[in-house]
Amino acid sequence: MASNNSNLMREVRLYDNHQERVQMENLSELYAVLNALEHLEKMFSRDHVSADEYKLQCFKLLDQYKVAMRLVHGATNVEDFASKYRLHCPAAIERIREGRPITVKDDRGNELKHIATIVEQFITCLDALRLNQRAVDYLYPTLDDLYNAINTTSRVPIDAAVSSKVQKWHDRLSTMAASDEISDDEARQMTFDVESAYHAFNKALHELKH
């Protein structure tokens, strides 16, 4: 009897190594994003969230979905993922298929799509840093995409606090060799600066609406 109780109390491991742990975390992130998008669609349909807030959050979740989907090994499409993990999210799947909030028409969504692109690049860059990527040939392309997205917009006002923090690291990494790596201290500071720029960008968007 004691042996049976001991077996019942034994910890169940969901992974056996670091790679499996990362995959489990990525699966959980994708599941959470789909669940959040489904709830957002329901909240908007019930008039529990404003149209402006819905658009902003929907674009963010769609970009987070793209990033999460890329990180999950073996994931082919959202329908298969939802079926495999028994996630009922028809509204989220429909939103992903259309690639935009329900309130945005094809011919009027250019500005918001550009905002979504900038948000996606911020998330991609921060994810790389949080996954302990240190190599310049890995970090620079994602940072360069973010830098270009910020500097090619004319419709979306970019605060100097946003562009200066991103440009600082873009300039620094551009002078380094592809085989170089940034130190842990540099990675910590870069994460802080990019996060600060991301928060400043979001703050500017909210102020633009009011």
Is position 72 within any domain?
A: yes
205 has a pLDDT exceeding 90: no
| Residue 60 structural domain | 19-104
**In this predicted structure, what is the pLDDT of residue 33?**
95
Same domain flag for 30 and 86: yes
Q: How far is Cα 46 from Cα 52, in angstroms, rounded to an integer? A: 15
CA 210 from chain centre, in angstroms, equals: 25
What are 81-105's pLDDT values in tens digits? 999 989 999 999 999 998 888 887 6
The percentage of residues in the chain with a pLDDT greater than 70, rounded to a whole number, is 83
Q: How far is Cα 56 from Cα 116, in angstroms, rounded to an integer? A: 8
154 has a pLDDT exceeding 60: no
Same domain flag for 100 and 113: no
Its pTM stands at 0.50
Is position 8 within any domain?
A: no
Which of 88, 104, 120 is where one domain is finished? 104
Q: How far is Cα 48 from Cα 54, in angstroms, rounded to an integer? A: 10
